[in-house]
Amino acid sequence: MLLQTSSPPGPDTRAPGGNAPPPRRRFYVPVRAKFASATLLGIAWCALSVWLSQAWLHDLGELIGAAPALFVIAFIAYVPGFMNAFMAGSILLDRRPRRRRLAEYPGVTVLVACYNEAANIGDTLTSLFAQDYPGPLEVLVLDDGSTDDSAAIAERAIAAATVAERHRFRVVRGERNVGKAGVLNRGLAMASHELIVTIDGDSWAYRDALTHIVERYHNDPPHTRAVAGSVLVRNSRHNWLTRAQEWDYFHGIAAVKRMQSLYHGTLVAQGAFSLYDRAALRDVGGWPESVGEDIVVSWALLSRGWRIGYAEDAILFTNVPDRLGQFARQRKRWSRGLFEAFRAYPGLLVKPRMSLMFIWWNLLFLPLDLVYTFAFIPGVVLALFGHYWIAGPLTLAVLPLAVLWNMAIFRVQNRVFRAQALRVRRNYGGFSFYVLAYSMILQPVCVWGYVSELLGLRKRWGTK
């Protein structure tokens, strides 16, 4: 429930789902109480960090000055400690509302953005052919002027497929490349149904993914206008980089979305797999021309007082970058998209609701990444030579919290996987790299993205 909105969320335009009333719970902790409890845990951990760091703060202050030392330690220890403690507490307190079946399933249009996906579009369509969605389903493969055989491969796959009579598939060829926002808006104008699902052309939708995301949408509060699906890594066995990203998606991204949705504050319905209300999309003008079109359109919905949900059991597997340069360009684009969202909707910084914390949380990413890149990483190098000014024995104090955090999210995610007849594979090498070194690549790349946006450098997709 929103604490307050500056404008009414508007009428509920969703089709009736015919849900049975939810079962009574013997004991229920209100969302606001969970928010307060997680906040108190974060503050307590932060206070403990401040107390433990006094000697560290004094020694570093003598070296670089009191104010710079406080700034560096705040964004190495205090702020990340609060964030991790808050997230761990939230995940442990989270009890997802039951996703119930509908008496009647509404029509859904799936927009598959496709640019030079000859190697993947056949598999993506195979996964969509296998979806046993109970209602009318329209799938539009939106070719964005591909220079390979993507469109022809998709047309052949559709011609050879046997699908339910209520399901329709077709390819929409684009004469020239107009970008992801442009091709999605073209599909939005052609859509036959009121619910729109976006899927990337290099993905594999797990069984019942569409059914689950629609059910979550109809079981969520009435001012919900979008639902983010659960996006996980498909090509995780390819190399060390994809193995590390498997844990980033499984632990990091999924956990943040789950935490945000607990407080009705999911900030991004990612383009790789999300559901949107067509009328709401049209109300905000569709997807904007930007490198972060999914986050900007999500913030446009939030600015109207609407809610974005999260369906943790609507699972889609996507191919992630397997080359370091490709990965860097993708995360640089995500960082620039965050800046685009702040520039387009600064009013969200003062919009009173529980998700306000997460908006400011995102604003702190810039100093966090800067300090990590220009202070902590050099501090680790110095520590290897016996100089413990920035990174030293005291930094090991964060390990218990890191262990608690990873245990909590693994327990939750593993339970989701078991319910879907999935198994978490053993990926110890990828996990070790994710915990120990992944941020040393990720956060400097994010800084590169922030600087590129501030300098107004040329924008491009850059991951093909």
Q: What is the pLDDT of residues 340-351, one digit of tens each?
A: 999 999 999 888
pLDDT given at position 18: 47
Q: What is the pLDDT of residues 410-441, one digit of tens each?
A: 888 888 888 888 888 788 888 888 888 899 89
**Phi/psi at 383 (nearest 5 deg)?**
-60, -30
The pair of structure tokens assigned to 294 is 């999914």
Degrees, nearest 5: CA angle 267-270-271: 145
Q: How far apart are CA 337 and CA 448, in angstroms?
A: 13
- Is pLDDT of 6 > 60? no
- Is pLDDT of 186 > 60? yes
pTM score, whole prediction:
0.88
The whole-number average pLDDT for the span 57-69 is: 91
- Is pLDDT of 405 > 80? no
Q: What is the pLDDT of residues 319-367, one digit of tens each?
A: 999 999 999 999 999 999 998 999 999 999 888 877 788 888 888 998 9
- Is pLDDT of 19 > 80? no
- Is pLDDT of 193 > 70? yes
The pair of structure tokens assigned to 106 is 């509404």
The position carrying tokens 């079981």 is: 219
Q: What is the pLDDT of residues 83-126, one digit of tens each?
A: 988 988 888 888 877 888 999 999 999 999 999 999 999 999 99
Q: What is the pLDDT of residues 234-291, one digit of tens each?
A: 998 889 999 999 999 988 888 889 889 888 888 999 999 999 999 999 999 999 998 8
- Is pLDDT of 401 > 80? no
DSSP string of 141-181, one letter each residue:
EEE-S-SSSHHHHHHHHHHH----TTEEEEEE--SS--HHH
pLDDT given at position 1: 25
pLDDT given at position 26: 53
From the CB of residue 317, how many other CB atoms can be counted at a distance below 10 Å? 23
Percent of the chain with pLDDT over 70: 91
> Structural domains in the chain?
108-346 (3.90.550.10)
Q: What is the dihedral of CA 322, 324, 327, 333, to 10 degrees?
A: -160
Q: How far apart are CA 458 and CA 436, in angstroms?
A: 33
- Is pLDDT of 402 > 90? no
Mean of the per-residue pLDDT values of the chain: 87
**Phi/psi at 114 (nearest 5 deg)?**
-140, 120
pLDDT given at position 196: 98
From the CB of residue 109, how many other CB atoms can be counted at a distance below 10 Å? 22
- The maximal CA–CA distance of the chain, rounded, in angstroms, is 74
Q: What is the pLDDT of residues 295-317, one digit of tens each?
A: 999 999 999 999 999 999 999 99
pLDDT given at position 295: 94
Q: How far apart are CA 114 and CA 442, in angstroms?
A: 27
Q: How far apart are CA 93 and CA 87, in angstroms?
A: 10
Are 313 and 228 in contact by the 8 Å Cβ rule? The answer is: no
**Higher-pLDDT residue of 310, 13:** 310
Q: How far apart are CA 1 and CA 16, in angstroms?
A: 21
**Higher-pLDDT residue of 155, 391:** 155
pLDDT given at position 5: 32
